[in-house]
Amino acid sequence: MKLPLKDYLFVGVQFILFAVYLLNVSLFPFQLPKYISYSGLILSGLGVIIGVLALLQLNKNLSPFPSPKTNSELIQTGLYKFIRHPIYTGILLMFFGYGIYQGSSYKIGITVVLNLLFYFKSSYEESKLQAKYQGYSGYKKTTGRFLPRLRFPLK
């Protein structure tokens, strides 16, 4: 299957942001109380767990590209029962939490840019998924994009 140029652009920018995040830039560093700083590590660890679980649950459907694989199936179990893009959620939590732990506004800023990229990448991905899977519209209504959808009982 030949992928559209847009797929390569999204993945390319994503990996550039990953690389830029790894740079040790001291731009507007800040100091937080230790308990807040360590809560960033906990948040980062939670992101790792979410990301690894989501990767395992996708199994053979896994691809870095937004366009679904030709012989893929729509996963709606596990974390995907609650969140449409848990891998993105895991990455964002991991990066944001580590930025808090390091007291790095630079790393937090890169995470914000990555969040924007994931928003647009997931919108593009969802248009492809909706075209491929008949039940995607209903699935989209019951799950959150990056976080579980909050439901309040109506009386």
Taking only the tens of pLDDT, the chain with its 155 residues reads: 689 999 999 999 999 999 999 998 888 888 889 999 999 999 999 999 999 999 999 999 999 999 999 889 999 999 999 999 999 999 999 999 999 999 999 999 999 999 999 999 999 999 999 999 998 999 999 999 999 987 766 65
Q: What is the pLDDT of residue 147?
A: 94
The pLDDT of residue 28 is 85
The span from the first CA to the last CA of the chain, in angstroms, equals 49
Residue 149 phi/psi, 5° resolution?
A: -75, 130
pTM of the model: 0.91
pLDDT of residue 153: 66
d(CA 87, CA 62): 10
What residue segments make up the domains of the chain, in order of their start? 35-61+75-142
DSSP-derived letter for residue 66 is S
Q: Could you give the CA distance from residue 36 to residue 41 in angstroms, rounded to a whole number?
A: 9
CA distance 88 to 71: 22
Instruction: Dig out the tokens for 93 from the structure.
Output: 């939590």
